[in-house]
Structure 1
Amino acid sequence: MKKFLVFLIASLMVFVVAACGSNGATSGEGEKNDTKQESEELTIKHQLGETKVKKNPEKVVVFDFGALDTLDKLGVEVAGVPKDNLPSYLKDKYSGDKYENVGGLKEPDFEKISSIEPDLIIISGRQSEVYEEFEKIAPTIFMGVDTTKYLESFHENVKTLGKIFGKEEEAEKELAAIDESIKKLKEKAEASGKNALVILANEGKVSAYGPKSRFGLIHDEFGIKAVDENIEVSTHGQSISFEYIVEKNPDYLFVVDRGAVVGGQSSAKQTVENELVKKTNAYKNGNIVYLDPNYWYLSGGGLISVAEMVKEVDNAIQ
């Protein structure tokens, strides 16, 4: 009997040790999976190079307002933004004390950025010349839109942000909705048979933008025929005279007022609606359209801004 009891106790001890060993292995495996998830890195290819980015970075500094409004739409928080230049539709939220002020679009505060110790910095064209300075502080990716292929580039940027922050499904859903609205606008625009000219008004002067340019998506993606297919493609547009506008005589004249968001004073209407421009079909038919520069000039390329840009043009087309 004693031998039987000794045997029984020994067997139970072996079972308990084995069970503990099994639980320990499972726990260790879970910890490894958690660690792997936390330390997972993505290699992001962008216009300025390749950057290794940790998935779900916690501290993010954003200089591109299109990227900022995409993150806002996807429910992703950030740590710092350039408060000196915030577009109106983002100002109420991001001018608050919760977010650090990292300077201006053209004058980043590198000392402030460094003090945040960000896990990721997102920039675009206005900061591209100092990309290497950002890289010294933290992994930096370029999220500016390639205007020669606007929608494709916009899609890539949104999907990249969705991947980095684990918001792939939400990103796809928002993109699908925008694609549908653009499809309807394009059908409407092409059916109208009307043409258009897009201009930037700045301190009494005007410059024109055609296909594949900064504001060229009106032609390339929204389907409104350009009144002039040979406008020079450049960041600042092709300098034109008011005589040129009369000569081309567009059905629609889309105006982006730079002064309204840079100098704080809107002078586009006084500049554009002069005696010469009043001779055009655009003026005669009430088709001079003042686009919101917060979306078109300061921002663009984001889930919020692109959706609003589509709405503005759609509301203008008859």
Structure 2
Amino acid sequence: MKSYMLGLGIISVVLVCAACGEAGSSEENNASANEVVEVDSEFTNEKVEIPANPKRIIADEYLASVIALGSMPIGAKELSLKNPYLTEYTDQIESIGMDGNESYEKILSLQPDLIITGTSDQAVYDELAKIAPTVAIPFGTLKNTEEEITGIAQLLGKEEQGEKWLENYQTRIEAARQKAQDAVGEDASFSILEATGKSIYVYGDNFGRGGQAVYQALDFQPDEEVADIIMEEQWKELSFEVLDEYAADYIVLTSNDKTIDDLKSDPIWSGLDAVKNDRVYVWQEERSWYYDPFAIVEQTEELADWLAETN
């Protein structure tokens, strides 16, 4: 993937002064408006300058991480603005359109000084770069919350804020993990499934639906027989004939139209041990699809509470 490579150990930035001249003590303590950061770019095969202290950020991706670091973007995608885990932050952020159909005109009108995008499409990047300095971090480049917060903090020059946010995050995650493992034991296996219409999907640890919370934060695992397939492919459509092979001791199920009672009355679902023993957590896609840092910590605590109550 062509990108500005960001993350743990893979960001390369150099502070440079864009204008020469004498600076007073106040300017020495605070980055001036002319100070920029040089970022390695595989798109252009050269250093690209971005503001050291951007004030008008378009978060085409990574909205939650930018907010976590104390910055408030001026624009973001519609789907990100609908994130239920960010409702207290997004009232003043303007929509730049739906995912895959963002409005360049809208982005231009907002006069950004930095655009952070998740695209790996050269044509999309080129259009964004015409508007403002643009950093592309393609989907999957940052593998977990720690890498995402650290990478975005390095980009924005907010490493201290990033470290503090992660300290609080780890405290909450460790408490939730202990609660969950005390409830079910370390050897319990978990499946991350989604039922939409007549289709069933299984997910790994970096594709939403609770995978990050279950497999990364709570440190549970799928059944050994299918673990490699799930983690390598990250998502896979299943036939009903093989559902029992992927159904573990506990199931975290995304569905907008199924309840536990529906599963128990279904001839296929009702045969699964997790369904028989009430070890299924059903939530709607608006709660499970998101896997930003805010979503993951709240999902982790939500699932830990369910496991404690269930057992």
Same fold per TM (> 0.5)?
yes
Counterpart check, 1:121 vs 2:123: no
Tell which deviates more after alignment, 276-285 or 30-39. Answer: 30-39
User: Percent identical across equivalent pairs?
Assistant: 20
Counterparts of 1:202 and 1:45, CA distance in 2:
41
Counterpart check, 1:39 vs 2:34: yes
1:248 Cα deviation from its structure 2 partner:
4.3
TM-score computed with the length of structure 2 as normaliser: 0.72
Closer/same/farther in 2, CA of residues 34 and 212 from structure 1, 3 Å limit: closer
Structure 2 portions without partners, runs of 5+: 1-21
Q: Which residue of 2 aligns with 1:17?
A: none
Question: What letter corresponds to residue 287 of structure 1 in structure 2?
Answer: R
Counterpart check, 1:69 vs 2:64: yes
Counterparts of 1:38 and 1:161, CA distance in 2:
20
Counterparts of 1:207 and 1:46, CA distance in 2:
36
Counterparts of 2:119 and 2:23, CA distance in 1:
46
Q: Deviations over 1:2-42 (max 9, x none)?
A: xxxxxxxxxxxxxxxxxxxxxxxxx8534763785332222
Q: Which residue of 1 aligns with 2:12?
A: none
TM-score computed with the length of structure 1 as normaliser: 0.71
Counterpart check, 1:170 vs 2:164: no
Q: Which residue of 1 aligns with 2:277?
A: 285
Question: What letter corresponds to residue 161 of structure 2 in structure 1?
Answer: E
Flag the structure with higher helix content. Answer: 1
Q: Which residue of 2 aligns with 1:255?
A: 253
1:255 Cα deviation from its structure 2 partner:
1.6
Mapping 1:1-318, distance limit 5 Å: 29-30=24-25, 33=28, 37-44=32-39, 51-64=48-61, 67-83=62-78, 86-91=82-87, 93-94=89-90, 96=91, 98-124=92-118, 130-143=124-137, 146=140, 150-151=143-144, 154-186=145-177, 188-189=180-181, 191-210=185-204, 216-217=211-212, 218-227=214-223, 228-232=226-230, 233-234=232-233, 237-257=235-255, 266-269=256-259, 274-291=266-283, 293-294=285-286, 296-297=288-289, 299-302=290-293, 304-317=294-307, 318=311
| SS at 1:41 equivalent | strand
Could you say which structure has the larger radius of gyration?
1
Question: What letter corresponds to residue 160 of structure 1 in structure 2?
Answer: G
Contact 1:89 1:294 in 2 (8 A): no
Contact 1:102 1:113 in 2 (8 A): yes
Counterparts of 1:84 and 1:112, CA distance in 2:
16
Tell which deviates more after alignment, 46-55 or 75-84. Answer: 46-55
Counterparts of 1:48 and 1:253, CA distance in 2:
42
Closer/same/farther in 2, CA of residues 91 and 107 from structure 1, 3 Å limit: farther
Contact 2:57 2:74 in 1 (8 A): yes
RMSD over aligned CA atoms reads 3.5
1:204 Cα deviation from its structure 2 partner:
2.9
Q: Aligned residues, how many? A: 274
Structure 1 portions without partners, runs of 5+: 1-26, 258-265
